[in-house]
């Protein structure tokens, strides 16, 4: 497996068009096809379904896309270290999280890190749940951010809470629930609901979504694959949902806390006895911050 194969695969996967991928990579379309065929032969599986009109990812191709991006990102980081003009080792810390919503909380942390460790190069990695645990346990990630209940804590894993985040009913700002101070589950039984896989959102949120769905007709339920799609459908008026409160400023969405539901503990995980000096400095900065 080589970088040409992976870069060809990523471009075809993101554009679903061999000609467009060839244009971006500045190679011929036949060269892109050869790279894809050789990669599929090496992996022993089809990555794309091809017809005369369309190109789509196979389930195997969809799974492999995240891995391919991760490999390319790591290679680029390694190359940057080697090619640094001064020959000084670039101080890089790898930070992992499950989705883009975590980046909002990380922004304040990174601002403080930039002040105190200006030479730091944070390597932010948004990785699906099915991969992030193994990468953390294999020490490919220095710090892992997430909800406490979502990450199994092994003997050498330490968790540090940063904030409590309430679970909320997420609604369009024009909805008649918007003026409420809190909402009970039963109040949502007459609404259309948007649900999501528990791998993409906290398990507790998925459990509440599923409980509410049991009281709603099937044609009133919309299914989706990630938090960003939930927010888009809520914003467009397709229904309401249940999510942790996010800090993104969005005038079209309102978060109303759920009644009698404990807030979720959010923080970061690291390995006990970490010897990385840079990692210790970053953790020290994080622990000093209030009101993340």
- Asked if 257 and 273 sit in the same domain, the reply is no
Residues 156 and 171 in one domain: no
Q: Do strands 121-126 and 143-147 pair parallel, antiparallel, or not at all (unpaired)? A: unpaired
Task: List the chain pLDDT tens, one digit each, 292 residues.
Answer: 778 888 899 989 888 888 888 988 888 889 899 999 988 888 888 999 888 788 898 888 888 888 888 788 777 766 665 555 445 566 788 888 877 777 777 888 888 889 988 888 888 877 766 667 777 877 778 889 888 887 777 778 888 888 899 999 999 999 999 899 999 999 999 999 999 876 778 889 989 999 999 999 999 999 987 788 899 999 999 999 999 987 766 889 999 999 999 999 998 888 887 667 888 888 888 878 765 6
**pLDDT value of position 78:** 65
Cα separation, 23 vs 247, in Å, equals 39
Q: How far apart (Å, rounded) are the C-alpha atoms in residues 9 and 99?
A: 23
Q: 172 and 252: one domain?
A: yes
> Is 81 part of any domain?
no
Q: Strands 167-172, 157-165: parallel, antiparallel or unpaired by DSSP?
A: unpaired
The whole-model pTM stands at 0.66
CA gap 187, 181 in Å, rounded: 13
Tell whether 10 is covered by a domain.
yes
Q: How many domains does the chain have?
A: 3
Count the Cβ atoms, other than its own, within 10 Å of residue 193: 22
Residue 279 lies in a domain: yes
Q: Is residue 120 part of a domain?
A: yes
Q: What is the pLDDT of residue 130?
A: 62
Residue 108's pLDDT is: 82
Report yes or no on 78 lying in a domain. Answer: no
Identify whether 231 is part of a domain. yes
Task: Look at residues 15, 41, 73 and tell me which one is the last residue of a structural domain.
Answer: 73
| pLDDT of res. 211 | 93
What is the domain range of residue 36?
3-73
The C-alpha atoms of residue 291 and residue 14 are separated, in whole angstroms, by 37
54 and 191 part of one domain: no
Task: Please indicate, yes or no, whether residues 52 and 197 belong to a single structural domain of this protein.
Answer: no
Residue 156 lies in a domain: yes
Q: Are residues 141 and 187 in the same domain?
A: no
> Does residue 130 lie within any of the structural domains?
yes
**CATH (domain of 44):** 1.10.10.10
In this structure, are 108 and 125 located in the same domain? yes
Q: What is the DSSP letter of 101?
A: H
């Amino acid at each position: 497996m080589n970088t040409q194969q992976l870069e060809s695969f990523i471009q075809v996967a993101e554009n679903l068009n061999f000609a467009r991928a060839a244009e971006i990579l500045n190679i011929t379309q036949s060269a892109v096809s050869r790279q894809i065929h050789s990669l599929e032969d090496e992996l022993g599986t089809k990555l794309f379904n091809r017809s005369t009109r369309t190109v789509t990812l196979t389930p195997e191709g969809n799974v492999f896309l995240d891995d391919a991006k991760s490999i390319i990102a790591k290679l680029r980081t390694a190359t940057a270290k080697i090619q640094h003009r001064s020959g000084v080792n670039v101080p890089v810390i790898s930070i992992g999280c499950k989705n883009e919503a975590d980046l909002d909380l990380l922004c304040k942390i990174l601002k403080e890190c930039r002040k105190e460790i200006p030479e730091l190069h944070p390597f932010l990695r948004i990785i699906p749940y099915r991969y992030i645990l193994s990468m953390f346990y294999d020490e490919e990630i220095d710090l892992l951010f997430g909800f406490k209940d979502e990450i199994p804590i092994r003997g050498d894993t330490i968790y540090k809470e940063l904030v409590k985040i309430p679970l909320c009913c997420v609604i369009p700002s024009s909805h008649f629930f918007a003026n409420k101070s809190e909402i009970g589950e039963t109040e949502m039984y007459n609404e259309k609901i948007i649900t999501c896989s528990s791998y993409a959102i906290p398990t507790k949120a998925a459990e509440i979504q599923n409980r509410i769905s049991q009281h709603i007709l099937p044609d009133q339920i919309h299914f989706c694959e990630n938090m960003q799609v939930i927010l888009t459908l809520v914003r467009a008026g397709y229904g309401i949902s249940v999510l942790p409160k996010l800090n993104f400023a969005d005038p079209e969405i309102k978060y109303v806390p759920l009644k009698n539901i404990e807030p979720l503990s959010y923080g970061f995980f690291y390995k006990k006895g970490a010897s990385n000096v840079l990692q210790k400095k970053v953790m020290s900065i994080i622990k000093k911050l209030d009101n993340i």
